[in-house]
Structure 1
């Protein structure tokens, strides 16, 4: 079949996935150039869960979500995404039904593209509208998606005239245009000022608390960007899992100290996390 790439065969292939799981990673590793970038990782995500993945630069966060979004398949282990095993299905079909926002995607949108075309093309997994004709139902879905992220007022605006915060909202509207079961966001708050970040966190909190919203996996470098309503967390360091599970059990001072190799103190106020180094001095990484 076109688009199917044969993944390594192993004992994990013998057991089917639980149909209630959107992501089911078993002993997953990803290697490139003789180096293990991630793994081994066991990870399961259910429909009503909202996950944050956090860790230092180079921890393997983006590599992990590239597998979760069917952009890569594992070098070892077995990865099921939306019930399909990576390497044994057409990954293009999976990508078309997963909502995804990344900084690299933002950089690929033409500056003169109007907002509604940025969003509507997401339903067809393309960037840039040329001569395509879309159905009225697609246009209605664009309006609904923009309204859901509080960006309906941006209709008619050119991409290049938007602020970073406005671009983030439009990209999320584009991601939910496909009515995904799984929404993956790679550092949605990157580059935003304080006001823009708080606006985005507020919106994502509303999304996280919406029982009809898709399962969410979000990468961030900063615990302050984790919206209220997120349920689970995974903490990575150098490709290995430091801790994963319920968010309050994972985001502890002990675990962050271990991951970042310096004394980190974490606090929680009104459902939001805040972190700082506990003492002065010392190297970033021991």
Structure 2
């Protein structure tokens, strides 16, 4: 039985005025795949992520998300099926919201608790997700009082609250110290190992932040796909050196990737 793509981009490009900043791109992922997107600053990662999150439309081309074509579907309904952890969401989370409610309100795809009624299942799921990502004990704290690492964990829990079919993670380990990064990546790898976990796309600058269990990688350079495919074939010294214009040696150990420059 053929599996329908979770996400499919066909000849997608984005222009700002006369300048082509992204594309043309052709790209698809299917259920069960875990993708990482890497590239230098200005490569087009943020623009691509905004398209995948249905936040912006491409100038040209076709985007199909979860079997629905952008421009021919109610985006509000579609967005309830996509979990997002990243700056566009983080900036809008009220600082005076309880951590538990930051996660819980995702059940209604809203930010900020008002007069909604949540049942015991919703509350249990919110607590379970906070537990999975190591912040259960912070449930009654105000979101604005959390450290950067604690906020990232809360955001991931929120992104998963509505049981999404597609999960988008924008630099989830960015700004964390080494201990926080390693703990988060371990927890995320454990979660992603669940066969029922959603298809995932993680955007990062650093190959050290690629979690174990990642299946595929896409490298962007100057708004175009430099190379994509199975992660071990893509994350190599040759490919990473080419997109970052630096001599970089890539090594792999126990499912993780590491990089260092050399002359």
TM-score band (shorter)? Answer: over 0.9
Shifted more, 191-200 versus 153-162: the winner is 153-162
Given the alignment, which residue of 109, 114, 122 partners 2:93? 109
Q: Is the 8 A contact 1:60 1:236 kept in 2?
A: yes
In structure 1, the partner of 2:44 is: 60
In structure 2, the partner of 1:43 is: 27
In structure 1, the partner of 2:204 is: 220
Q: CA RMSD in A?
A: 1.4
In structure 2, the partner of 1:203 is: 187
Give the TM-score, by structure 1 length.
Answer: 0.88
Given the alignment, which residue of 20, 23, 27 partners 2:4? 20
Matched, 1:265 2:243: no
Q: How far apart are the structure 1 equivalents of 2:23 and 2:75?
A: 21
Q: Is the 8 A contact 1:27 1:41 kept in 2?
A: yes
How many residues in Structure 1 have an aligned counterpart in Structure 2? Answer: 262
Q: Is the 8 A contact 2:3 2:30 kept in 1?
A: no
Given the alignment, which residue of 125, 128, 141 partners 2:109? 125
Q: How far apart are the structure 2 equivalents of 1:149 and 1:38?
A: 34
In structure 1, the partner of 2:135 is: 151
Give a deviation string over 1:96-147, Cα, whole Å, max 9, x none: 1100011342232222210111001112222111233323332122122222
In structure 2, the partner of 1:253 is: 237
| SS of alignment partner, residue 226 of structure 2 | strand
1:19 CA drift (Å): 5.6
Q: How far apart are the structure 1 equivalents of 2:104 and 2:119?
A: 10
In structure 1, the partner of 2:214 is: 230
Give the TM-score, by structure 2 length.
Answer: 0.95
Give a deviation string over 1:151-206, Cα, whole Å, max 9, x none: 22222111122121111111111000010011000111111111111111111111
Q: Is the 8 A contact 1:55 1:260 kept in 2?
A: yes
1:90 CA drift (Å): 1.4
Q: How far apart are the structure 1 equivalents of 2:151 and 2:199?
A: 22
Q: Is there any run of 5+ residues in structure 1 with no aligned partner, and where?
A: 1-17, 280-286
Q: Is there any run of 5+ residues in structure 2 with no aligned partner, and where?
A: none
